[in-house]
A and B are shown apart, each in its own frame.
Chain A
């Protein structure tokens, strides 16, 4: 039973376009929402994270939008580049439970030149 649902499974965008990946969660106790980026042949690495006390967090071309009432959050990649081509995972956790994360299914992003 997947507690964090991610869509789309795959995404193709043109260079310079906006990539949007969505996640929805069920457990209202979740209070930490990171995104991980994984390149082929590598382990995932933390990209950006948000806590529910804010509705948006931006780091460079990457932005997380968070909607607590809808139990949804999304990753926006502005001015997408071929080097952004990777698999992206959203995740969620409960801070008081320590470091345990529940991951979404993953989105394979391809940015065409």
Chain B
């Protein structure tokens, strides 16, 4: 089944304790992205990657890191989480066709609480 998976689905942690949220897709997509969803703010892009070893900042990158060493994986790293990073996080992937935009496939989400 074609899908984007994220782990963990739920995470409660404390301020300053490094954590990683994993994202994996099995569709051989070039483009991958991380979003956070907050009430009244919609989906805001954190980081995106056009292909392996190519990453760039989205609209709200502060406090986050990413890496893209393999095509299928795009982990999100919070080196020192803070309470304002409490949110619902989504990973998405898309084939990066020459023509441009194409459908983005979203994972099921990771609900993170930082106390």
Binding site for B on A (CB under 8 A): 2, 6, 9, 32, 34, 41-46, 49, 89, 93-106
Find the A residue at minimum CB distance from B109: A43
Question: Quick check: B104 and A46 within 8 Å, CB to CB?
Answer: yes
Question: Quick check: B100 and A98 within 8 Å, CB to CB?
Answer: yes
A98 CA to B58 CA, complexed, in Å: 14
Task: With a 10 A CB-CB cut-off, give which of B44, B101, B102, B108 has the most chain A CB atoms.
Answer: B101
Task: With a 10 A CB-CB cut-off, give which of B37, B43, B94 has the most chain A CB atoms.
Answer: B43
Q: Mark B26-40, 1 if CB is under 8 A from A, else 0.
A: 000001010101001
Could you jot down 19 A-B contacts, CB within 8 Å?
A32-B100, A42-B109, A43-B107, A44-B43, A46-B103, A89-B42, A93-B101, A95-B99, A98-B50, A99-B31, A99-B48, A99-B95, A99-B102, A99-B104, A103-B35, A103-B43, A103-B44, A105-B40, A106-B37
Instruction: Judge if B45 is at the interface, Cβ distance under 8 Å.
Output: yes
Q: Mark B67-93, 1 if CB is under 8 A from A, else 0.
A: 000000000000000000000001010
Q: Mark B41-54, 1 if CB is under 8 A from A, else 0.
A: 11111001010000
Question: Quick check: B106 and A45 within 8 Å, CB to CB?
Answer: yes
Question: Quick check: A98 and B43 within 8 Å, CB to CB?
Answer: no
**Chain A residues closer than 8 Å to B59, beta-carbon distance:** 102
State the 8 A-B residue pairs at the shortest beta-carbon distance, nearest first. Answer: A95-B100, A43-B106, A99-B94, A103-B43, A105-B42, A32-B101, A99-B31, A103-B42
**Chain B residues closer than 8 Å to A94, beta-carbon distance:** 100
Task: With a 10 A CB-CB cut-off, give which of A32, A34, A43, A99 has the most chain B CB atoms.
Answer: A99
A32 CA to B103 CA, complexed, in Å: 11
**Chain A residues closer than 8 Å to B35, beta-carbon distance:** 103
| With contact pairs A103-B42, A103-B43, A106-B42 given, residues A98 and B106 touching in the complex (Cβ less than 8 Å) | no
Give chain B nearest CB distance to A49 CB in angstroms. 8
**Chain B residues closer than 8 Å to A43, beta-carbon distance:** 4, 90, 92, 106-109
Question: Quick check: A101 and B40 within 8 Å, CB to CB?
Answer: no
User: Given A41-B108, A44-B90, 4 other A-B contacts at CB below 8 A?
Assistant: A9-B40, A45-B105, A95-B100, A101-B101
